[in-house]
Amino acid sequence: MKQTYEGAPAGKGAIYTWTGNAQVGQGRMEITESRPNELIRIHLEFMKPFPGVCPTEFTFTPRGNEILVNWTMNGKHTFIPKAVGLFMNMNKMIGGQFEQGLAQMKAVAESAGLLTATSK
């Protein structure tokens, strides 16, 4: 997979693009809003295998010595993705990737001293 980074080094205006095989596809992410410890908004655009735009948002809510992370993605489905969704369980297909992403986010926050190892 080919990955590129451009724009701002972090926060609003940071851009990540990727191009890969049929499983990975091609896409682009741009951070459109960033409020440290509160919110990250991303314009997520898929080019291949199915074009689409999925506004993505991370919100962070302190709860005692823990932080609740809410990760949402929205988007409209054209006919082909809707048809695929009838026969495939999307949660089974990509749910593990969400869990892996959240675990990686936790590991980065812990290594930066933002969370303790007992945080969930």
Beta partners for 39? 35, 59
Alpha-carbon 41 to chain mean position = 10
Q: For residue 114, give Cα distances in angstroms to 46, 58, 59, 73.
A: 31, 16, 16, 25
For the chain, percent of residues with pLDDT exceeding 90:
35
Residue 83's pLDDT is 58
Residue 40's pLDDT is 95
Instruction: Identify which has the larger pLDDT, 42 or 89.
Output: 42
Average pLDDT over residues 107-112: 81
Query: pLDDT-derived band of residue 119, with 50, 70 and 90 as boundaries?
Result: very low
Task: For residue range 49-73, list pLDDT tens digits in order.
Answer: 878 888 999 999 988 888 888 888 8
- Quote the tokens at residue 11: 């926060």
Task: For residue range 11-34, list pLDDT tens digits in order.
Answer: 999 999 999 888 788 999 999 999
Average pLDDT over residues 79-107: 69
d(CA 10, CA 102): 19
The contacts of residue 79 (CB under 8 Å, 6+ apart) are none
In the chain, where the domains are located: 1-76, 77-114
- pLDDT greater than 80 at residue 75: no
